Amino acid sequence: MDINGSVALVTGGASGLGLATTEKLLDAGASVVILDLRNSEAVDKLGDRVRFVAGDVTSEDSVKEALDVAAELGTLRVAVNCAGTGNAIKTIGRKGPFPLADFNRIIQINLVGTFNVIRLAAERIAQADPIDGERGVIVNTASVAAFDGQIGQAAYSASKGGVVGMTLPIARDLAGAMIRVCTIAPGLFDTPLLAGLPEEAKASLGAQVPHPARLGSPSEYGALAAHIVANPMLNGEVIRLDGAIRMAPR
């Protein structure tokens, strides 16, 4: 699909992987609506082809508001799910069993929120006229934790494993509407989630990656997301973007 002239929705687009994806889509000629909990100075500098909507991916009203703003810019053809969060809690710990509310919160944001955006964005994309045999593309974000979850990542791994697991059936669901669906499973990336770590700690994490032995750059995620949109044979696939890392238990 030609990104130039398309309209995209990027959740979590005000920072990290989402911001980098927004920048790549803009560079390719798209207009972008960002749905995120809060704005950032970086978004304010992106230019007049960007709109920001403050909202929560688990809220139907928030997502519909963002999609309505997208409709004002043109025809929605791309949705990229980058919004997400995590925690680190053992199944049983010093304070007792994993609090169920904390488990549910991660599932609601990372898995249910992703599906909420998929279902509502797909409805809008399905109304577009086909171009070169397709109407649009949806890209989701999982994690290598879906496969190599570490100690304390039961909720996070479950949520990302759910995103992985629903990729193929949703791609099959939407094939008749000419909408492709893929998921990226990033490894260790230099995102705001790691921003509070000392440089030594980040270097140590990066050294765990076989090659290149460093943290991933958000721009590398954004480049893959843009390529998925542009390559019409990528569908129903989960792509690890991780430098060949396989996470150890800790």
**Within 13 Å, how many C-alpha atoms sit on residue 118's CB side?**
24
- DSSP string over 37-84: SS--HHHHTS-TTEEEEE--TT-HHHHHHHHHHHHHHS-EEEEEE---
111 DSSP 8-state letter: I
Instruction: Look up residue 13 and give its amino acid.
Output: G
Are 26 and 48 within 8 A, CB to CB? no
Burial 20-38 (b: 16+ CB within 10 A, else e): bbbbbbbebebbbbbbbee
Which residues have C-beta within 8 Å of that of residue 18, sequence separation ≥ 6?
10, 11, 12, 34, 36, 80, 82, 83
221 is an active site residue: no
How many angstroms separate the Cα of 88 from the Cα of each of 7, 93, 106, 146?
36, 11, 11, 14
Residue 12 burial (CB count, 10 A): 25
Classify residue 44 by burial, with Cβ atoms within 10 Å: 0-12, 13-18, 19+.
exposed
User: Among 156, 180, 184, 224, which one carries the catalytic annotation?
Assistant: 156
Alpha carbon of residue 129 to chain centroid: 25
The residues that are catalytic are: 156
